[in-house]
Structure 1
């Protein structure tokens, strides 16, 4: 006998899932060279207390908004790793480079995402998914 269907999939609201998401996030932020302020904005304009709590990588049930933001950043990271599969360092640099394409209009993807809305993260992911084909 297996587990009941509702337990067959990982619970993305569990504390363990929160820790895994935060581990990914902070590793990516290190690769992207993001400041604490940028990281707080990307996580939804969280305060310093929450930021430093999250940095300890606790088993924490993350808010839906935070999970959604990290999910979009995972998609951005994945698309960049595929697009720049032969040049991984360019995958990490891309977010800081000016981009003439809409929706960036000369700004970098990072500057675009730092407007702070979830939709800004989604737009960058959608753009990269479109480029990737």
Structure 2
């Protein structure tokens, strides 16, 4: 059984709203369509179909979890930074701590690997202290 069904949420509404919010955040962070597709694990055709006709959006549990990580990272950045420029630019900035090793968070998560998304989300959330 899917996470959305177990929790009693309307899967279609959750997919539609989640995709739109995540796509807006990824765009705010400066992601290209290809990067967004990789991060959300969507084919090019599905990505463009969902953008053009949001009512057709249907995400898997894995994709919904990816959306959740993106929303949580954005919320953490909003808590940490009061300046909107920092909120939107942080994910594209080079980071020199051990994990990032001079890469930006976006450079890591654009791989589309779930583990990379998880690790970056964990570190962004950790900024809240």
TM-score bracket for the superposition, by shorter chain length: 0.7 to 0.9
One of 102, 108, 118 as aligned partner of 1:106: 102
Contact 1:18 1:59 in 2 (8 A): no
Offset of 1:127 from its aligned partner?
0.5
Offset of 1:29 from its aligned partner?
2.2
Once the two structures are superposed, what CA deviation does each residue of 1:48-90 show, in whole Å capped at 9, x if it has no partner?
2111122121253310111011111111101111110x21211
Could you say which residue in structure 2 is the equivalent of 1:68?
65
- Whole-Å Cα distance in 2 between the matches of residues 76 and 50 of structure 1? 24
Residue 31 (structure 1) aligned with residue 48 (structure 2):
no
Structure 1 unaligned regions, length at least 5:
1-6
CA RMSD for the aligned pairs? 1.7
Could you say which residue in structure 1 is the equivalent of 2:12?
15
Could you say which residue in structure 1 is the equivalent of 2:126?
130
Offset of 1:92 from its aligned partner?
0.7
TM-score, structure 1 length as denominator? 0.84
Q: How many residues align?
A: 123
Structure 2 unaligned regions, length at least 5:
none
- Whole-Å Cα distance in 2 between the matches of residues 129 and 67 of structure 1? 18
- Whole-Å Cα distance in 1 between the matches of residues 43 and 34 of structure 2? 9
One of 85, 88, 91 as aligned partner of 2:84: 88
